[in-house]
């Protein structure tokens, strides 16, 4: 990062976006400490379970993590592991390690994020044996290729890039053997909402232009035009965090259109309230017993303002339309 240049407004905006990585990780850390789901690796990225989060937040993250996992695992199974996963704006995500534990690794798992976040993540991996162990076990030599802004191994790769500079990102990924011929799954969790619709559209279009058999799964806000949405936008503004992509988050339809207008064959979207109802209800009943929620309306509002949208193109006719809820 250039340290001599003045800290501009856009630097501040990017800094605010990077801070959301900590929000997400600390919320996930807290929820796992309470037993909402199991993640033995998050503790190596987020030391303390930290401040208590409200029960509706924990349930919301539960729905998010379970929902995304469901689609991710369905894709890997359908392609029988003969695929790639690219996590855009991965942050301190632990998917790779958990997929490995579950014997569900794709051919290669890629992560992309800002240089500062990637540097942190690489440092954690380097210094925590439980993390590096999984990488070494899936690597053909016992030394990994890493420097301050990239890490490469046979099955796992982290690359520092700006998602708004699609060609640069593509360059870096291709250097680490990203294969446009393999069925590929793109993930983005609360990432595109921080870019303008033009910037995210370029990203989404690049994916469909470059890969003939692929899926894109996106988790972020939706139904932002109502009071709750407006309050969320105002609250974030006060933290210098701008939802530059809020327009695309108007409705489930606008979330679908962003894919259909960018060359994807088919698109679908569900709000998290619906997803919550489609998750295995026995486990939902279990987590609802973990903490008593005093006001269900809070959870409902929260869940109705987030969605998972997904799109696919299926030249190889793998039946990707079956990867759904």
Q: 81-120: which residues touch other proteins (CB under 8 A)?
A: none
Q: Which is nearer to other proteins, 104 or 293 (CB)?
A: 293
Residues 20-59 as x/- pattern, contact with other proteins by CB under 8 A: x--xx--x-----x-x--x-x----------xxxxxxx--
- Contacting other proteins (CB under 8 A), which of 45, 259, 306, 312? 306
Q: Cα dist. 269→26, 214, 255, 276, 278 in Å?
A: 27, 17, 7, 13, 13
- Contacting other proteins (CB under 8 A), which of 18, 36, 42, 64? 64
Residue 273 binds other proteins (CB under 8 A): no
Cα 166–chain centre separation:
17
Asked if residues 190 and 220 have their Cβ atoms less than 8 Å apart, the reply is yes
Listing DSSP states for 151-213 in one string gives EE-SSEEEEE--TT-HHHHHHHHHHTT--TTS-EEEEEES-GGGS-HHHHHHHHHHHHHH-SE
- At 81 the three-state DSSP class reads coil
Q: Which is nearer to other proteins, 4 or 47 (CB)?
A: 47
Contacting range for other proteins; rule: CB under 8 A; set: 3-11, 127-135, 200-208, 210-218: 127-135
Among 219, 151, 216, smallest CA distance to 184 is for 216
Q: Is 163 annotated as a binding-site member? A: yes
Residue 227 binds other proteins (CB under 8 A): yes
User: How many residues bind other proteins, per CB under 8 A?
Assistant: 51
Which residues, at least 6 apart from 240, have a Cβ–Cβ distance to it below 8 Å? 12, 13, 15, 16
Q: Is 101 annotated as a binding-site member? A: no
Output the known binding site: 64, 89, 162-163, 189
Catalog residues that contact other proteins under the rule CB under 8 A: 20, 23-24, 27, 33, 35, 38, 40, 51-57, 60-61, 64, 128-130, 136, 141-142, 190, 221, 226-228, 230-232, 235-236, 238-239, 241, 285, 288-289, 291-292, 294-298, 301-302, 305-306
């Amino acid at each position: 990062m250039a340290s001599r240049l003045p800290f501009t407004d856009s630097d501040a905006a990017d800094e605010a976006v990077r801070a959301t990585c900590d929000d997400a990780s600390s919320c996930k850390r807290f929820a796992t400490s309470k037993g909402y789901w199991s993640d033995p690796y998050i503790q190596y990225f987020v030391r303390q379970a930290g401040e208590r989060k409200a029960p509706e937040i924990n349930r919301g993250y539960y729905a998010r993590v379970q929902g995304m996992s469901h689609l991710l695992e369905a894709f890997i199974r359908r392609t029988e592991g003969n695929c790639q996963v690219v996590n855009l704006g991965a942050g301190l995500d632990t998917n790779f390690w958990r997929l490995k534990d579950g014997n569900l690794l794709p051919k290669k798992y890629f992560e992309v994020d800002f240089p500062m976040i990637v540097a942190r993540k690489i440092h954690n991996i380097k210094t925590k044996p439980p993390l590096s162990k999984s990488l070494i076990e899936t690597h053909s030599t016992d030394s990994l290729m890493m420097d301050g802004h990239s890490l490469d191994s046979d099955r796992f790769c982290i690359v520092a890039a700006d998602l708004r500079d699609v060609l640069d990102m593509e360059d870096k990924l291709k250097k680490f053997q990203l294969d446009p011929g393999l069925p590929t799954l793109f993930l983005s969790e609360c990432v595109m909402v921080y870019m303008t619709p033009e910037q995210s559209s370029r990203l989404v279009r690049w994916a469909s232009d470059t890969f003939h058999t692929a899926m894109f799964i996106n988790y972020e806000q939706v139904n932002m035009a109502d009071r709750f949405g407006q309050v969320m936008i105002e609250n974030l503004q006060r933290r210098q965090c701008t939802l530059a992509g809020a327009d695309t988050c108007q409705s489930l339809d606008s979330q679908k259109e962003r894919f259909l207008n960018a060359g994807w064959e088919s698109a679908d979207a569900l709000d998290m309230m619906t997803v919550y109802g489609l998750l295995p209800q026995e486990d939902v009943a279990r987590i609802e017993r973990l903490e008593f929620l005093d006001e269900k309306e809070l959870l409902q509002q929260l869940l109705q303002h987030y969605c998972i949208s997904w799109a696919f193109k299926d030249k190889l006719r793998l039946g990707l339309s079956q990867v759904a809820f």
